[in-house]
Amino acid sequence: MSVDSVHRQDAPAVLSDLQSLLDTQRLAYAAHPCPPLEQRQQWLKSLRRLLSDEREVLIDTISQDFSHRSPDETLFAELMPSLHSIDYTLKHLKRWMKPSPRSVGVMFQPASASVIYQPLGVVGIIVPWNYPLYLAIGPLIGALAAGNRVMLKLSEFTPATGHWLKELLGRIFPEDMVAVVLGEADVAVAFSGLAFDHLLFTGSTHVGKQVMRAAAEHLTPVTLELGGKSPAIVSVDVPLKDAAQRIAWGKTLNAGQTCIAPDYVLVPQDRVDGFVQAYRQAVHSFYPTLIDNPDYTAIINERQLARLERLQTDATLKGARLVPLYDQGQGRRMPHALLLDVNDEMQVMQDEIFGPLLPIVAYSDLQQALDYINARPRPLALYYFGYNKAEQQRVIQNTHSGGVCINETLLHVAIDDLPFGGVGHSGMGHYHGHEGFLTFSKAKGVLAKQRLNGSLMIYPPYGRQLVRLIQKLFIR
């Protein structure tokens, strides 16, 4: 029975099929526990060729799942970073795999010490719906570079992409090497409860807690890439056009369905009206209209659209002032809107928005803005807009977040040499680049001695004069 049909079975059958697939990968790993550099490079090169050759099919399939997804957004936000990540990994993998020599104190000589980076075994990856390609391929690259076998659980909300990615990856990897699992929420629950050697989950904080509970049953280490309410701070003197344009790009990409999208903007009280005007102009310059606009992405499904509409209604009923930027949308192409005069009683200021609504919070001075951020759960990203370098450092040093951009949004996730990961409610652990290789590897310390045994000097009986001399010299 195929794994992609398990969602039609009862829970024991689901778990049985997944466990069988895990056992198959474990046996394959046991037969080849430390793939050489050349093998790992070949895996990555095959993956790169596949993505490049099938780019048009992938673009069309993702758009099908969204009802409409901008082809250029898929190119820039999914395919390009996936290809660049493979290139970066291929360039540096040989160095990453080398044992790292470590020092040995005089007391323990003669000996040598090193750290070797060993594959963990079988890695599970749970992929969300908002970037179904990049958030599958990104962690897959790190897991393969580290020499692991991989099971990928694709989101039930992107069924076309899931089925097509399963078919494509099956062309270059046997199922005991890389397996794609499809199915509904019950499959995801069973998947997260498997005894993986590492489990990476990307998704909401609420579901992340459930995943961590399930993984704890087997003491499976987890990397949680969650979300949260990522703030943007507009300084008192930054040109509003600069800040508004960059924030608007980060918020409107994928119609705001991005885990590191600006979730609310802190603006000086006397600049709110100016920012609203600049922001409106920036958004309209990107998308003059939503009707039949191929550049504007739709909300993934009716469920998410209804959730966003409830957030908007709840906010206005509780006193928020809605500033719509368009008269109407089209289908699931939800019109972008600003929310002014928001407060903490509104659901939109409690939950991650994940869509084209942007609250504006007025502040009087920078310290008040920092206090506002620090009084809330730590976000996945933080954005500051201002050209005063002292204030830039003040923001960086006095806030906690998974990552920071100064005078930019989103793009830190595309820098392969930067780790990506959250903190607190926005997640734990890192991947991308070298950090991804380390996440999916066991850094094993190795101490080696040969014939000469210097430790004889501290063996019992302890009353000997040499032992006392050693104690006097090394214990102070």
Tokens representing residue 74 in the block: 């898929």
* CA atoms of 235 and 283, how far apart (whole Å): 20
Dist. CA 420–CA 189, nearest whole Å? 25
Measured between alpha carbons, how far is 207 from 82 in angstroms, rounded to an integer? 25
Strand 112-119: give its sheet, edge to edge: 100-102, 112-119, 441-448
Helix axes 185-192, 205-216, angle to 10 degrees: 50
What backbone phi and psi angles, to 5 degrees, belong to 272?
A: -60, -50
Tell whether the torsion through CA atoms of 300, 304, 306 and 311 is positive or negative: negative
Whether 17 and 1 have beta carbons less than 8 Å apart is answered as: yes
Task: Give the catalytic positions in this structure.
Answer: 225, 259
Q: Which residues contact 37 (CB under 8 A, 6 or more apart)?
A: 93, 94, 97
Distance in angstroms (rounded) separating the CA atoms of residues 312 and 279: 19
User: At a CB cut-off of 8 Å and minimum separation 6, what does 170 contact?
Assistant: 180
Which of 256, 231, 245, 229 shows the shortest CA–CA distance to 336?
Answer: 256
Tokens of 127: 């992929």
